[in-house]
């Protein structure tokens, strides 16, 4: 099985990620950047992991109400931030729609497997830790119409999902040829949806 990060909804919060909870979305080898809009800087929860080289790991958990509010604010800002940024982040609507269907009171992001791929404190881990605060700055810049600054901020998180924006759709398409082939996706728009929301999983029957 491929190494994945998983976004879940749960009614039973624990001291470690609840892997019995219902998955909402998943992503191979990284973390969908759009998931990080759901969490605040204080939502990161450390725990002990004996199998890890450092013995430490962490996950994120927020109330579903807070996660929906943060996501709604991100959508509001990005829809008004101009056609380019909205075209890159419109996949957030899929995530918002799926989250709205869930009734569990908490949302969790399980990073255990993807953190185990790297070294403790590596660039990926540092960027995941920084993501909630940096995305808040990104939204502020986008809301002020400072697209260059917004791009700088979002590109500083390129290790999280692999997403890196040029500011121009044609240059994006040229720069992303390798990723499109690797993921077997047909268009830059599909790739953006993957980077932003991962693979959304419907609720269990």
**What average pLDDT does the segment 112-127 reach?**
86
62: three-class secondary structure by DSSP: strand
pLDDT digits (tens, 9 = 90+) for 11-32: 999 999 999 999 999 998 899 9
Residue 2 pLDDT > 60, yes or no?
no
Kind and range of the H or E run holding 9 = strand 4-10
Give CA–CA dist 34/91, Å, rounded. 8
Contact (CB, 8 A) for 157 and 130: yes
Q: Which residues, other chains included, contact 29 with Cβ-Cβ below 8 Å and sequence gap of 6+? A: 2, 3, 4, 114, 117
Q: How confident is the model at residue 53 (pLDDT cuts 50, 70, 90)?
A: low
153: three-class secondary structure by DSSP: helix
pLDDT digits (tens, 9 = 90+) for 153-192: 999 999 999 999 999 999 999 999 999 998 899 999 999 9
Residue 1 pLDDT > 50, yes or no?
no
The total number of residues shown for the chain amounts to 205
pLDDT digits (tens, 9 = 90+) for 54-101: 678 899 999 999 999 999 999 999 999 999 999 999 999 999 999 999
pLDDT of residue 205: 43
């Amino acid at each position: 099985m491929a190494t994945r990060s998983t976004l879940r909804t749960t009614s039973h919060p624990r001291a470690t990620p609840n892997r019995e909870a219902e998955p909402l979305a998943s992503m191979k080898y990284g973390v969908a950047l759009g998931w990080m809009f759901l969490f605040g800087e204080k939502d990161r929860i450390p725990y002990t992991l004996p199998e890890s080289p450092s013995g430490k790991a962490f996950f994120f958990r927020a109330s579903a109400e807070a996660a929906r509010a943060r996501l709604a604010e991100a959508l509001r800002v990005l829809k008004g931030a101009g056609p380019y940024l909205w075209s890159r982040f419109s996949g957030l609507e899929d995530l918002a729609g799926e989250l709205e269907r869930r009734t569990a009171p908490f949302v969790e992001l399980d990073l255990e497997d993807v953190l185990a791929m790297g070294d403790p404190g590596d660039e990926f881990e540092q960027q995941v830790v920084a993501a909630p605060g940096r995305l808040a700055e990104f939204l502020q810049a986008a809301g002020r119409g400072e697209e260059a600054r917004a791009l700088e901020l979002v590109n500083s998180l390129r290790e999280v999902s692999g997403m890196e924006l040029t500011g121009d759709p044609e240059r994006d398409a040229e720069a992303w040829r390798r990723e499109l082939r690797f993921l077997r996706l047909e268009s830059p728009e599909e790739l953006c949806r993957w980077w932003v929301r991962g693979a959304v999983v419907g609720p269990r029957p």
